[in-house]
Amino acid sequence: MYLQELKPYPNSKKKRKRIGRGLGSGHGVTATRGTKGQKARSGGAKSPFFEGGQNPLYLRVPSKGFTNIFKKEYHIVKLEDLNIFDNHTVVTPDLLNKVGLIKYKDKLDKEIKILGNGELNKTLEIHAHKITKKALKKLEKTNSKFLKLPPLKNKFKKTKKTQKIQKTAT
């Protein structure tokens, strides 16, 4: 085999389709665009976001974010704030409300979360829904106890969407 004997594989070299180069080429006159219509005109291509005249997605979606209906909100209590209680006190949501660390009227509306900010100098028994790992380690150092409360039932805001979701789930 010599270099001058090398040939390309059959049908691997194909001529480029030359559009709009006269009648003899077979692709002249309409230049493979068909006859008339929007697509036959120059600049007649629709954008990829065109939805046939209906209000497109980029106009239907709100421009400044949205409200997450499943967002969880908590009453946040820092460990350093719990130093106001005496030793061996049982810290409940009602007691936290009475002291003013959290605020709610008749019924607890959000779950309580204990954060590990600051140091705890007292031994307490804390009743809350959630606690951070850092706060739990600091509680163990002071021989304090943590009791997890059951989650609240009405976590989500009632909207038409959530009502539909709840109906389909049942």
Joined together, the tokens standing for residue 104 give 């709610």
pLDDT at position 61 is: 85
Q: Please enumerate in sequence order all residues whose Cβ is within 8 A of that of 126, keeping only pairs 6 or more positions apart, or say none.
A: 82, 91, 114, 139, 144, 145, 146, 147
pLDDT at position 160 is: 66
pLDDT at position 1 is: 87
Flag residues of the chain having pLDDT under 50: none
Residues 95 and 91: their CA atoms lie apart, in Å, by 6
Residues 115 and 109: their CA atoms lie apart, in Å, by 19
Decide if domain 74-148 falls under CATH 2.40.40.20.
Answer: no
pLDDT at position 71 is: 84
Q: What's the pLDDT tens digit per position in 28-42?
A: 899 989 899 998 999
